[in-house]
Structures are given as structure tokens and as C-alpha cells.
Structure 1
Amino acid sequence: MQILKFGGSSVATADNMQRVLDLAQAAARQAPTVVVVSALGGVTDQLIAAGRRAAAHDDSYRPLLRELEQRHLEAARGLLPIAGQSAVLSQVKTSCNELESLCDGIFALGELSARTLDKLVSYGELLSSRLVAAGLAARGAAHQWLDSRQLIRTDARYGHAAVDFARTNPLIQAAATGEVPLYVAPGFVAAAPDGSTTTLGRGGSDYTAAIFAGALGASTLEIWTDVSGMMTADPRLVRAARPIPRISYQEAMELSHFGAKVLYPPTIQPVMRAGIPLWIKNTFAPTDAGTLVEVAPPANQEFVRGISSIGPISLLRLEGSGMVGVPGFSRRLFAALAQEQVNVVLITQSSSEHSICVAVSTPDADRAQQAADQEFAAEIGRGLLDPLDREDELAVVALVGEQMKNHPGISGRLFGALGQNGVNIRAIAQGSSEKNISTVIRQQDVRKAINVLHETFFEATTRQVNVVVAGVGNVGRKLLEQLQRQQPWLREKLRLHLRVVGLANSRQFVLDEDGLDLANWEAALAAGPTLDLPRLTDELLALNLRNTVFVDVTASADVAQVYEQLLARSVAVVACNKVAASAEYARYARLKSLAQEFNTQFLFETNVGAGLPIIGTLGDLLRSGDEVQRMQAVLSGTLNFVFNNYDGTRPFAEVVRQAQQEGYTEPDPRLDLTGVDVARKILILAREAGHPLEMPDVQNDSFLPAACLEGDVPAFYEQLAAHESHFRRLYDEAAAQGCKLRFVASFEEGRARVGLQQVAPGHDLYSLQGKDNAVLFFTNRYVEQPLVIKGAGAGAEVTASGVFADVLRAAH
């Protein structure tokens, strides 16, 4: 004997019922089969709604009942040939008339008792099972319809009746003897000792099937639904979720308890006791393997079997010094909750006995709070206990797996993954069996948390990183080109799925949690709303995507203002923008502190040397125990380009204009030529070396005549031309000594300085070409010969590559 149960979606329409008939007949050719069916999808909720409307003297229950009647009539017409419809349509009409009479009575009394509600909702399964039986009859299939109310005996706790197996099992065994190949029975319904209709509670049709399986010693129980088995996570939340091939009864119960909708926990009890294999299959993809629930599935490489969640949850916390060393507080709390029929989802208690915390379903939270406050009113009044603390808008996320037992590091990986993504854990529970690690988190973080954990435990091959880029000028465009070009390599070599989910320029922005097409990003951005930085930030944080990196490729002080808000939500910040790192030291330190506090990254390598690994190398030196004594550096590709190309044969102004035309300067070249940019860079290096300098502490020896700083950019070029003799003299003096002009930044003994210097042959800064930068680190280890980092220090391509490198650091 085998048992097949079909859920509401499997019998929701006539077409779906045809699939059910095909599967049932195929199974019956292998062995005698009992088919248990749920009500048509959504019917039970509609029946409950009709009853409640009637009890509230709301006569809108009548059109709702007519809608239910029409749906069942249409299903019968679609399922059966015309010649076989008459009797079934009459049966449906009779049942619907009974329903209407029942609701009319409820309307007249203005009351809906639990007993009457059970009678009302039983019609859903009775009608659907009759339709399935009629479909088999129309096909000429030998079968028998069984009334579950005559076979499953329960107590009189209407709505969640307890089964009397001693009476039930013999009745089922006598009815389903195997004399016919197919039996059809309604799920969910049963009968009290007096013969009145009862129901088996949430998931009752699954339970009915398991009761039949246990009573008949079935070879297998198959639960047919609309998914291909139990999944590693909710596929509505995790796109990469996949079916679990095999799972133990205990693991299935844990996953079901914490929200996996495929099974209802009591369903498993009768078959688990009998050791009957349970298959979860997909009615709409019957060839899919599905999930086998069994006593002892074989071990595999995945210690975690699945991830589930349940919410909304409320956390109730009872604490106070009066609890310490006094027995009975826990018993009183749970007794008070049980009296109000409040189910406790999760429990945790501090080792000091100073507090106990329970999680309950939010709809039960008011009753739970009132019951606890009433129970402990005397202790609260005397100050022995604090008033009950309640926190709402929470959820439980659970890792489940029997193989987690005795495997160290599972909890560490869980907490680390959540912490790196800013998911705060409000409470934790882990049973001594080590099959379940449950965490209470904010409900708004559930999607992110489950995706992060699924990636951590099931998707070791690829890690998704979500990138938002602010600024799509020269550097930003190059960065997007590099990101697009490197996608295959990142997937293959680094196992990274790096998605750009947001873009912004000075006018507009666009966010797409599914990722933007980098081949058409300009069109997407052009169609986006007007840029509003607070709105952009709020919408990005509302998306709450895992592994998010915000990239600032602007020079905007306004964009830099959002860093704190992002870091405080564990969004990594990669800044090409120098505003934040060179701002007041207190703000710089605050940003570094936030990154550390919220376990994320604040990276700004390109602030100093475009794509050169200067800040990273400095950090490596310090972390390895070295100490910087002094630094010398050429940190402006613009100024180096200018002085490498100026030899007196062309006017100085013409060389500067060439640098601007080739993209080496800011739109206003004075920002480069005044040395302010270089001063910011040496300030950042000094800070990274551990010195709390402010911008005014950097001495700036400008080589520009004061008149060059007045007026607009055209006036600036006019003044450069007017002071050609000044620049020629600077060049001639250096050339006479066999030296080259370099705008040098230096740091020594806690003091920073920038200015034009004559550099002699043999010096590491002498041979710099084009737009090269160089930094010389003199440290305790590099005393006579400095550690030199040298290379191109300007240009969109190399700067973008430096930003890209920081993005990858943040991703890891």
C-alpha cells in the first residue's frame, strides 16, 4: 500500500486535477494506493472568511459562497465529460446549499463556534475529494471514496483535534483493504466521539495522509505539492535555493517548525514512528527527483541541510535581580503563556539567571505580555523584576542539519557572515542535539540574512557582491568597462559574481536589485529619477542587499557626507574622492572607527597614487611591526607631467594647457598646480602612518605667483603667460645644477611639507617619467635604501584599476 497526498495547488483547477488523476492511476498500477486531497487552493480561507462575515452580520458572505459554488461547478465541468456531469453537479449544488444554510444560521445567531467552524471548513476537502473520485469514475478506473470522518477518530478539541490512534487505525485497516487499486479520501477532516466533524489543524491534509500511512504500514508516503521537494532555503527569498535530495525526519521537522511550508511538523510523527519513507514531489514536474525524508540519510559534504525562517516574531524578556537563585520563575512564565494558549517559538536564558527571553508569534504577543505581567505583578510592584520588555518586528532564522553536531566552526561562520553584513542578532538558541542554531533578527533583514547564509553554506563556488557607483565621468566609465570586461575572469578565478546594482551622476540615479546591464547602463541611468542623495541612500539601505560596496568616484563633499550612514549599516565604502580622508581628523577617525565597529571596509587607495598600491603597502608595513621614520614622494601626476615636459622651449602655460587637454588636471588646473591636492595626499599618508595631522599642519610652499590665483581659469592662463620669466628662472636654476624640478611631498618627525624642489641625479625621484608618481618609505627596516613604489600616478584607466582593486578587497 502507498499513500499519495495532493495539496491545494495540485487540485486548484480542472487541468491540475487531470494531472492528479494521471499520477494516481500510474501509482495504482504499481501497488494499491490511497489518494488524500486538500481543498481547492484558497477555498479553506474563503470558507473561514464567509463564516466570520456571517457571524458579524455582514451579508457579503452570500456572494462569497456563490463564488465558491461557481468555482467547483466549473471544475466539475472542466474535469468530466458532459454525459457524466449531471450527478456530480447536483452533488456540488447540494453541498453548497448546505453551506449556505449553515452560514445563514451563523448569521442569525451572530456567533461562530469552533465546532461550527470545523463543520463549515470541512466542505472544502469533501467537495475536492468527490471531484477527484468522479474524475476517476469518468476514466473507468476502479476506486472507492472513503469518508475520513468515519475513519479518523479524535477528541472534541475543535480546530486542532487530537487523534485517537487506538480507534482510528483499525477503522482505516478495515476500510482500505486493497480490494480495489485506488482509494480517495478527504484530508483535514475527522470526527469527535459524538460523530460531529472535527479538523486536524494547520497542515491537516498532510497529517491525514500520514495517519493512513501509519495505520496501513504503507511502503511509502508521497506529498505532492507545487515545489520539487524541500529546498535549502525559501526559493521566494533565495534564487539559488535548490532541492534537498535526502533529509532525516528530525531535520525535516526542524525546518518545518521554522517556516518551511512544504511540511507541517505533526505530519511526520505517524510515519516517523513506523520508519516509512516520505517523498515530497512536484505535481507540475513529476519527473523531478524531489526530496526523500527518511530515518538516516547518507552523510554528505554539507553539514547544514537547510535554512528556514519564521516571522513576524516578538521577543519578550523578563529580567531582574529578584530572579537570581529563586526557583520557579521559568515554570510560572511558561504556565502563564500556556494558560493563554501561546506557543513559545524559542527560549534563551542567561547563565546568571538574571533574565529569561522567549520568542512568540507576534499575533500572540499582546496576550503573552498581559499574561506575564499579571503573573509577576507582585514582583514587578516590589521592584524585584522589571516590567516585561517586548520587542516586535523580528523573525527567527534557523540553520538545520544533523551533521552540524561535533563540527566546530558552524556557529562562527554563521555569526561572522551575518556580522559582516550588518545583521544584528537579538537572541540565540542552540539545542544540545546541535541540529539547529536559531537566531532572532530584525524582520527587515530576513531576506539578506538567508541569502548571506545560503551563500556561506551552500554556494561556496560563487559569492555575490553588489556594487553602487557614484560618478560616471572619465574614471567611472573606465571602471564600468573594467567591471564588465572582467566578469568571466572574476567568476572563474575568484568565484565572485560582481553586480552593479546602482549608478549615479550629478543629475540622476538608478537602482536595480537584480543588477544593471553594463552594456546599456547609460540608457538605464538616463531613465532614472533626479538625483537626491538622501533618497538614493535610503533606497539603497532599504534594498538591504548582502555584500554591498558603495564606490565614490566623484570629488563631491555632498557624496562624502553619506559615508557614515552607509558604514553604520555595514555597507563598504570605496572612495576615490579625497574629501573624507583629508577632512578634519575627527571625521577621518570616525569613519575608520565605524568601519571597524560594523565589520566592514572604508578603502581609499586611489586617494594618493591612483592605481599604485601605496596605502596598502604602508598598512602592510605597520601591521607587520615596522615604523615609518620619514616619507618623500611625488604625488601629482599632473605636476610631474608638467615639469617633465617644460624645458623652456615652450611657454609654461602651453605645457599646462597640454596637461589639461590630455586629462591630467582637474577642470580648474589651479587645484593641481597650487599643491593643495598633494598636501591632501601627504596628509592622508601621515594619518595612515598614525599621526593625527590636520590640513593646516601641512606646510605648502607654492611656486605660483599670487597673481595666478586670482580670477577664473582663462585669467589663470593669462597670468601664467605673463609670468613666463618666473617659470623659466626656476627651470634654469635647476638645470644649472644638473637637477630636475619635482613637486615633492615629505613627512618627517611629525611634520608634513609640500613644495617644488631641485632633485639631483641618482635620487629615486630624479628619473620619473611622464605622469609617474613615486613614494619613498624610510622605516626601521628600510633605513639607507627606502622602499620605493613607483608608476603611473594619473589617468582614468589606472585610477579605475585602483578603485577596482579596492572593490575586490572590500568583496573579500
Structure 2
Amino acid sequence: MSDEISPAPSPSPSPSPSSSNSSSPPRTPPNLHQNTIDPSAKWLVQKFGGTSVGKFAVKIAEDIVSNYIDQHKVAIVCSARSGSTKALGTTNLLLRASGQTLQPRRRKSSAPSGTATPISRGLFGAGLEGAFSPLSPQARGRATPGSSSQIFNGFSLTSLTIPQAGQALPEFNATVDIIRDEHIKAANASVRDPEILEELLQEIENDCDWLRSFLFAAQVIDEISSRSQDSIVGLGERLACKVMTAVLRDQGVDAEYVSLEDVVPEFEDSDTYEGVLDQDFYDRLAAALGERIQQCGSRVPVVTGFFGPVPGSLLSQVGRGYTDLCSALLAVGLEAAELQIWKEVDGIFTADPRKVPTARLISIITPDEAAELTYYGSEVVHPFTMEQAIRRKIPIRIKNVENPTGGGTVIYPDTDAEMQSEKEIHDDDDDIPLATLHSAHLAEDERRPRLPTAVTIKEHVVILNVNSNRKSVSHGFLAGIFGILDQYGVVVDLISTSEVHVSMAFGDQLSGKLLERLVKELKKSGTVSVHREMAILSLVGKEMRNMVGIAGKMFTTLAQGNVNIEMISQGASEINISCVIDAKDSVKALNLIHQSCLQIMPDGVRNRIGPWLF
């Protein structure tokens, strides 16, 4: 088992680059800090989420990346920047702009709204060159068919970039302005060197002009394909990585911006991937990612989580979690020692510490346990993303951007001989090597009973109960129920069935009218009752399969606490016991189960109150 990947001592700060004449070419700051050239050093992939990139870019450069690259070869993967609210997150704004593109134009422009600039080459390479790059102001008005200007469906993209006087101004224009302004604000707040800042600001303007041109062109043909949607959304990661690259270089780290738009291999048998991408595709993609990053030499690659168009569309095939998947595939391609996922929490806890003050940080957890916690309310790592790293025996460590020296939580590849201990961490465990920590847990496990790993809650749950109206003829009852659920796209979390009765719990994702239509369809099969404002309480632990009486203890505890159980599910998973309760009792239930089933140890345990991965 490998030791914990620890940061090296902080290097001496690099001297701040002095400003120079603005007419001179962009200058590389002196004494840039690079990845180690030790041939025995293993790669370390660090993935930073949108909130971390949005709020802690300078801290990431100063306190995290700088402290690792003396001993490890570090590659960074960034998500699109978050906003002050969820709606103002970059990805949400890009999706909003995409949706507004095909809406009727609502306003008139009395004057040009901005200036399109040519694509520049410099710190960030060629930028976004392609079919929709805007022309320079000098080139406007000279675009003619057959010239070097870009013509799309008979329209010059130059004229589309800037609405003329009296021309309708699309609604998406204001949304693009918000994206531009948010990134310009972040750049000004995070970068000190005037030349690096100037180039970054120019790059942001170029990318937003590209987006405007792209959306204008889509409006002309009145269509946005799935591949175009991918390109639009992928701009969020490209902007975030350009900001992070500039911040790193401003802080003395020799970073290189790496766009993965063209990294997806052109497979000869690409038609086979039009349905669901299989493991062969991801294995080949991982190899391509690793080869691309190796080209960076000793520079620190800052990699876009968006890895370009894939057969069948990235958003539809993978979803918005593609950045985590990219980091896992990159770790596989580089044969990394560890994949670190940096969030704003210390790791995974035995319960939500905002609701359970005695919750403790878990040092080691199995992939199966992490997957169960993810599904039932704790946003750890998507199971498919986790699978890509774990199948190659690459540990995944959850760490806190605001507490870089903490040990975090390790999701370790699971084998029959490993992970036989209860997974708690004490105050002095943060810097202990993983192998040593594991051995200590094994020894401690022999001295005390095995325990569950965590208890979690999934809120905003609806229960549907259906009783067959054909008591003597039950054939086809369940098939009809599941057919209706499939028709409405309902993903059932828990289910309990008998010959003529079925109870289902699922997330409250259906609108009021859609739920009414679903109930109306189900009433054709029998009597239907609906219970809203429910919650799923789940006790998770790999060792629970060997714990006699743990289910009885869980349900007895809830009964003694006067918590009514609406529905029970046990047996679908050997490591999970779940039940449905009223949402109003969720906090009380969490504390009761944590106290009775996870056996809080008063010695050496401190309260950790803070955000919970959910």
C-alpha cells in the first residue's frame, strides 16, 4: 500500500516580476517553480471544483501546488468557476445563454455593443481558433464571398458579432456579458503582474467574443446541436483554467494551459460508440490524456475538465460531472500515485457535522461505501468516476482547500485482505503515512467491535403507494407499474413490493403537474396514495454484513426516539440499511442513529462542525 502523498516544505518565494513597457512582448517571470525532474517521482493529479477555483485561486497556487511540485509531478484539473449564487455559476450561465439563443429577439440595439478582437497567441497558446472566431475591427465591412473572411449560411460572422444600429439584440448577449464581467473581476482580483493580467484580460475578451459569434451563428440557422452544446458549456472550464494558469505564473509557478478539445482519439470504429461509451473507449481516452500531459515536460499542466466532443455528446453520455471523470482518466493515463479531489470540506464524515456535532472525519473508506453514501445523500465522488481510478488501483483522496495540511479521506482500492477496520481518524492522524495508518486501524479493530461507517440522509423524497384493484389477478401488476415509471423517467431509490402492493421512494424531481399525471396513470392499476416531505435515512458500512442485530438496533433506536418509519429497505445491498421517515424528524434521527450505532468515543475525539459532502 502506498504512503500518503504529502506536500513538500514551502519553497522560497519567487521575486515578483517587475512591470515593463506595454509595447514589449509578453515576458516570462524569472525563477519560475517547476515540477520536479526526479525520474522516480510519480504523477499526482489534483482536481479543483468550481467553488475552489472561484474563491481560492491564489491560495491554491500559494499553499497547495507550490508545496507539492518539489517532490511530485503535479497535473491540475479545473472545473468551471462557481458564482455568488448557483444560478450565476459559469456552467449555468452558459446553459442559459444556449437556451436563450433560439428564443425570439426582444430588444433593439441603437449602437454597437462591444468590440471583437483578433485571437492572440501567447501565454495561453492560440486561444479558441475555429469556424466562429470574430474578425478584427479593421476587417469589418470587407468580408466578401471567397475572401479569407468567415461566411456562414450567407452571413459574415463579423457582422453577426456586433449588432448594428436598429438590429435586434439577442437576449443571450447580456448573459455573455455577465460571464465576461465575472471572469474579468476574478482576474483583476487575483493577478498582480500587469503583463500577465493584460494577456489574461485579452484572452477573456477573445473567448467571450468567440461565444457571442458562435451563438449568433446558431441563431441564424435556428439550431444548436448536441456537439455545439458541448462546445458552449466547455468554455467554462477553458476560462477557469486560463485564470488559474495566470494566477500560478503570477505566484511563480511555471504553469501551462492545456486545452483538451482535440484530445479525443479519432477511432476507426467510432460508430460503435454512438450508443453508450464502453470501457474500451475510456481506456483509450485515458491513454491519449496521459500522452498529451507528458508533452508539458517540467511545466505544471493546468488541464481543462472539458475534454472535447465525444460520440453521442459529452453532456448526454457523461453529464455535468465530466470534470471529475476527466481527472480520473488523467490519473489512469499518467499512472498517478494518487488522485486528489479538493473541496471545501475536510473529507467524508460519519454524519453531516452541521446536523450531528459529534460527527467524525473518516480516514479510509471503501469504494462501495463511498458509492452508497453518494447515492443516498452525500456528494462524495460519482461512482462511475471513482471506478475508473479504483480499477487501476489508484487511491482517491478528498482534501480541503482551506486546510491543505489535513489528511483528508482516502477512498482506497478494495481487496479481500484490506479495509478490515473501522474508518475513523483522530486529531493526530493527519500526517501519518497511509500504510501506517491502515496497520494501526487493523490493530485497533481487534480490540473493539466492528462498527458501521456512516449514517446519511437524503431529503426531498416522495413515496407512492399503489394497491392493485384486481386482488385475484396480480399478473402484470408490477410490470405495468414499472412501465409507467419508465415512461415518466422516474428513478426509484427504494422499493418494497408484495403480490398486490408496491411502495416506492424517489427524489422529488417531478413538477406538480407531472406528478399529477403520473398518479393518474398509476390509478389505472389500483389505489394510489402520495406522501411528500419524506427523507431516506441510510446506515452504511462494509462490515455490517457481519454485524448480527444491527438492523434491530437501528429500528429500535428510532422507535424509542418516537421516529415513525414509513418504509424499510434491507437486502438490496449488504452494506446499506435504509428506511423512509418524515423529513421533519431527519436531524433527530441522524443524531440518534449516530449515537447508538456508531458508538461515539469520547477520548481523543473533537467535534468537527462544518460543511458536509452532500
Q: Which TM-score bucket, shorter chain as reference?
A: 0.5 to 0.7
Instruction: Give secondary structure in 2 for the equivalent of 1:148.
Output: coil
Cα distance change on mapping 1:461 and 1:23 into 2, 3 Å: closer
Q: Match for 1:68: what amino acid?
A: I
Aligned to 1:407: 547
- In the alignment, which of 69, 92, 98 is matched to residue 210 of structure 2? 98
Conservation of the 8 A alpha-carbon contact between 1:307 and 1:397:
yes
Conservation of the 8 A alpha-carbon contact between 1:143 and 1:180:
no
Instruction: Give secondary structure in 1 for the equivalent of 2:294.
Output: coil
RMSD of the alignment, in Å? Answer: 3.6
Aligned to 1:31: 72
- In the alignment, which of 76, 79, 90 is matched to residue 187 of structure 2? 76
Conservation of the 8 A alpha-carbon contact between 2:183 and 2:204:
yes
- How is 1:639-718 mapped onto 2 (pairs within 5 angstroms)? none
- How is 1:503-652 mapped onto 2 (pairs within 5 angstroms)? none
**Partners in 2 of 1:412 and 1:24 — Cα distance?**
48
How far 1:69 sits from its partner (Å)? 1.3
Cα distance change on mapping 1:270 and 1:53 into 2, 3 Å: same
How far 1:306 sits from its partner (Å)? 1.1
How far 1:410 sits from its partner (Å)? 1.5
Aligned to 1:8: 50
How far 1:312 sits from its partner (Å)? 1.3
Instruction: Give secondary structure in 2 for the equivalent of 1:405.
Output: helix
Identity of aligned residues (%): 27
- How is 1:57-76 mapped onto 2 (pairs within 5 angstroms)? 57=104, 61-76=172-187
**Partners in 2 of 1:259 and 1:323 — Cα distance?**
37
Cα distance change on mapping 1:453 and 1:112 into 2, 3 Å: farther
Conservation of the 8 A alpha-carbon contact between 2:558 and 2:564:
yes
Give yes or no for the alignment of 1:200 onto 2:312: no
Aligned to 2:247: 135
Aligned to 1:567: none
Cα distance change on mapping 1:402 and 1:369 into 2, 3 Å: farther
Q: Match for 1:319: what amino acid?
A: N
Conservation of the 8 A alpha-carbon contact between 1:34 and 1:185:
yes
Conservation of the 8 A alpha-carbon contact between 1:394 and 1:441:
yes
Give yes or no for the alignment of 1:125 onto 2:166: no
How far 1:373 sits from its partner (Å)? 5.7
How far 1:226 sits from its partner (Å)? 0.2
Cα distance change on mapping 1:255 and 1:120 into 2, 3 Å: same
**Partners in 1 of 2:173 and 2:73 — Cα distance?**
41
Aligned to 2:564: 424
Aligned to 1:297: 419
Give yes or no for the alignment of 1:386 onto 2:526: yes
How far 1:367 sits from its partner (Å)? 5.0
Instruction: Give secondary structure in 2 for the equivalent of 1:24.
Output: helix
How far 1:402 sits from its partner (Å)? 0.5
In structure 2, stretches of 5+ residues that fail to align are 1-42, 83-88, 107-169, 423-448, 604-614
In structure 1, stretches of 5+ residues that fail to align are 463-490, 492-812
- How is 1:457-476 mapped onto 2 (pairs within 5 angstroms)? 457-458=597-598, 460=600
- In the alignment, which of 503, 510, 513 is matched to residue 357 of structure 1? 503
Give yes or no for the alignment of 1:171 onto 2:288: yes
Q: Match for 1:171: what amino acid?
A: A
**Partners in 1 of 2:322 and 2:393 — Cα distance?**
20
Alignment length (residue pairs) = 455
Residues 544-575 of structure 1, C-alpha deviation per residue, up to 9 Å, x if partnerless?
A: xxxxxxxxxxxxxxxxxxxxxxxxxxxxxxxx
- How is 1:471-482 mapped onto 2 (pairs within 5 angstroms)? none
How far 1:435 sits from its partner (Å)? 0.3
How far 1:346 sits from its partner (Å)? 1.6
How far 1:392 sits from its partner (Å)? 1.9
Conservation of the 8 A alpha-carbon contact between 2:241 and 2:304:
yes
Cα distance change on mapping 1:368 and 1:274 into 2, 3 Å: farther
Cα distance change on mapping 1:202 and 1:196 into 2, 3 Å: closer
Residues 482-521 of structure 1, C-alpha deviation per residue, up to 9 Å, x if partnerless?
A: xxxxxxxxx9xxxxxxxxxxxxxxxxxxxxxxxxxxxxxx
Instruction: Return the structure number with greater relative CO, CA threshold 8 A, min gap 6.
Output: 2
**Partners in 1 of 2:285 and 2:226 — Cα distance?**
22
Q: Match for 1:233: what amino acid?
A: A
Conservation of the 8 A alpha-carbon contact between 1:417 and 1:453:
yes
Give yes or no for the alignment of 1:213 onto 2:325: no
**Partners in 2 of 1:197 and 1:227 — Cα distance?**
27
More strand by share: 1
Aligned to 1:588: none
Q: Match for 1:191: what amino acid?
A: P
- In the alignment, which of 347, 358, 365 is matched to residue 229 of structure 1? 347
Q: Match for 2:64: what amino acid?
A: L
Aligned to 1:320: 468
Instruction: Give secondary structure in 1 for the equivalent of 2:54.
Output: coil
**Partners in 2 of 1:445 and 1:65 — Cα distance?**
44
Q: Match for 2:508: what amino acid?
A: T
Conservation of the 8 A alpha-carbon contact between 1:303 and 1:402:
no
**Partners in 2 of 1:441 and 1:155 — Cα distance?**
47
Cα distance change on mapping 1:24 and 1:412 into 2, 3 Å: same
How far 1:7 sits from its partner (Å)? 1.0
Q: Match for 2:308: what amino acid?
A: A
Give yes or no for the alignment of 1:346 onto 2:497: no
Q: Match for 2:177: what amino acid?
A: R
Conservation of the 8 A alpha-carbon contact between 2:48 and 2:77:
yes
Instruction: Give secondary structure in 2 for the equivalent of 1:151.
Output: coil
Residues 561-616 of structure 1, C-alpha deviation per residue, up to 9 Å, x if partnerless?
A: xxxxxxxxxxxxxxxxxxxxxxxxxxxxxxxxxxxxxxxxxxxxxxxxxxxxxxxx
Conservation of the 8 A alpha-carbon contact between 1:136 and 1:142:
yes
Cα distance change on mapping 1:55 and 1:427 into 2, 3 Å: farther
Q: Match for 2:506: what amino acid?
A: V
Q: Match for 1:431: what amino acid?
A: G
Residues 202-241 of structure 1, C-alpha deviation per residue, up to 9 Å, x if partnerless?
A: 4332222112122332211111000000111223322332
Conservation of the 8 A alpha-carbon contact between 2:493 and 2:507:
yes
Conservation of the 8 A alpha-carbon contact between 2:61 and 2:248:
no
Conservation of the 8 A alpha-carbon contact between 1:317 and 1:357:
yes
- How is 1:147-296 mapped onto 2 (pairs within 5 angstroms)? 147-152=259-264, 164-177=281-294, 180-181=297-298, 182-193=300-311, 200-294=318-412, 295=414, 296=418
How far 1:356 sits from its partner (Å)? 2.1
Q: Match for 2:537: what amino acid?
A: V
Instruction: Give secondary structure in 2 for the equivalent of 1:346.
Output: strand
How far 1:190 sits from its partner (Å)? 3.4
Conservation of the 8 A alpha-carbon contact between 2:62 and 2:251:
no
Aligned to 2:590: 450
Give yes or no for the alignment of 1:19 onto 2:141: no
Cα distance change on mapping 1:359 and 1:410 into 2, 3 Å: same
**Partners in 1 of 2:356 and 2:398 — Cα distance?**
20
Instruction: Give secondary structure in 1 for the equivalent of 2:206.
Output: helix
Q: Match for 1:9: what amino acid?
A: T
Instruction: Give secondary structure in 2 for the equivalent of 1:287.
Output: coil
Cα distance change on mapping 1:396 and 1:143 into 2, 3 Å: same
How far 1:259 sits from its partner (Å)? 1.4
Cα distance change on mapping 1:265 and 1:460 into 2, 3 Å: same
Normalization by structure 2: what TM-score?
0.66
Conservation of the 8 A alpha-carbon contact between 1:161 and 1:198:
no
How far 1:349 sits from its partner (Å)? 1.7
Conservation of the 8 A alpha-carbon contact between 1:314 and 1:394:
yes
Normalization by structure 1: what TM-score?
0.51
**Partners in 2 of 1:103 and 1:162 — Cα distance?**
32
Instruction: Give secondary structure in 1 for the equivalent of 2:291.
Output: helix
Instruction: Give secondary structure in 2 for the equivalent of 1:85.
Output: helix
Instruction: Give secondary structure in 2 for the equivalent of 1:149.
Output: coil
Instruction: Give secondary structure in 2 for the equivalent of 1:284.
Output: coil
How far 1:197 sits from its partner (Å)? 8.1
**Partners in 1 of 2:272 and 2:49 — Cα distance?**
26
How far 1:122 sits from its partner (Å)? 1.7
How far 1:129 sits from its partner (Å)? 1.0
**Partners in 1 of 2:313 and 2:553 — Cα distance?**
54
Conservation of the 8 A alpha-carbon contact between 1:222 and 1:279:
yes
Conservation of the 8 A alpha-carbon contact between 1:302 and 1:458:
no
**Partners in 2 of 1:373 and 1:155 — Cα distance?**
41
Q: Match for 2:504: what amino acid?
A: V
Q: Match for 2:367: what amino acid?
A: Y
**Partners in 2 of 1:324 and 1:38 — Cα distance?**
56
**Partners in 2 of 1:156 and 1:345 — Cα distance?**
31
Q: Match for 1:28: what amino acid?
A: I
